[in-house]
């Protein structure tokens, strides 16, 4: 199975809000930069679980509320590079759209490093009800 297929399974599981599956694909010592330049990393599976619980609680339970997709990817033996759009509907009915790039590192079949590069200010503004800027809409429409 390719690294892309392994990661795609994680994305698909999160689309179902299946945090247990997502966590099962992470090493106990995972280092996850869920917003690499905006926030300190989550270190360890317990920290990742706490984040997923809080993040997931803000996502609507309606089917199709998570529309996370990969636009482009490249991989080496133990590293996957992705460009994509993380889009979801929150519990208040707002759509949050975040184009991003990420680097996912594997040890065996487990994720040991995960760095997402995303503009967190764009996410925060949408959470406050501001519209998505036209240039970000264009990126997300790829």
The model's pLDDT over 51-70, given as tens digits with 9 standing for 90+, comes to 999 999 999 999 999 999 99
- Say if CB 98 and CB 119 are below 8 A apart: yes
- Whose structure tokens read 């299946």? 18
Check residue 142 and give its pLDDT. Answer: 80
Backbone angles phi, psi at 45, to 5 degrees: -65, -35
Both structure tokens of 100: 């991003």
Backbone angles phi, psi at 71, to 5 degrees: -95, -45
- DSSP for residue 133: P
Q: pTM of whole model > 0.85? A: yes
Round to whole Å and give the CA distance between 83 and 44.
24
3-140 CATH, one of 3.10.450.50, 1.20.272.10, 3.20.20.70, 3.40.1080.10? 3.10.450.50
């Amino acid at each position: 199975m390719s690294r892309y297929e392994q990661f795609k399974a994680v994305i698909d599981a999160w689309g179902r809000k299946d945090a247990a599956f997502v966590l099962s694909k992470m090493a106990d010592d995972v280092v996850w930069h869920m917003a690499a330049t905006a926030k300190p990393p989550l270190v360890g599976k317990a920290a990742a679980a706490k984040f997923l619980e809080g993040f997931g609680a803000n996502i609507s339970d309606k089917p199709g509320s998570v529309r996370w997709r990969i636009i482009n990817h490249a991989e080496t033996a133990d590293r996957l590079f992705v460009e994509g759009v993380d889009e979801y509907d929150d519990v208040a009915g707002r759509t949050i759209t975040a184009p991003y790039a990420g680097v996912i590192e594997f040890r065996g079949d487990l994720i040991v490093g995960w760095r997402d590069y995303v503009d967190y200010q764009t996410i925060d503004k949408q959470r406050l009800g501001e519209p998505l800027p036209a240039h970000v809409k264009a990126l997300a429409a790829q």
